[in-house]
Amino acid sequence: MAWLFLVLALGALWMAFTAATTGGLVFALLVALAMFAAFVLKLASDRIGSRARDEQLILDPEELRRLREQAEARRLAAATQNEPPRG
């Protein structure tokens, strides 16, 4: 879709070069500028969107607390198994 904006901008530039009146020239240049800006913004939006993290992978605070508690319990269990016998 972004490339369509670039093609339209080039078409508007071609119209500007072949315009017979000043009003047509100004209008075509403004359209070309707008289409080129739309092309750049769409390209940037697509790149940013492709690098965004999936919202479903983000943990809520309750899940994060539960995972910390499980890790702490495993750590304590491992520490009590490795304790040397007293006596």
Q: What is the DSSP letter of 82?
A: T
Q: Closest Cα to residue 32, out of 8, 62, 3, 58?
A: 8
DSSP character string of 3-25: HHHHHHHHHHHHHHHT-SSHHHH
Helix (H) or strand (E) segment spanning residue 58? none
Between residues 22 and 61, the one the model is more confident about: 22
pTM of the model: 0.61
Average pLDDT over residues 58-78: 90
Q: Round the average pLDDT of the chain to a whole number and report it.
A: 90
Decide if pLDDT at 64 tops 70: yes
Q: Provide the residue ranges of all domains of the chain, joining segments of one domain with +.
A: 2-81
Sign of CA dihedral 26, 29, 30, 31: positive
* Contact of 8 with 35, CB cutoff 8 Å: yes
Considering only residues 17 and 50, tell me which one the structure prediction assigns the higher pLDDT: 17
pLDDT for 4 beyond 60: yes
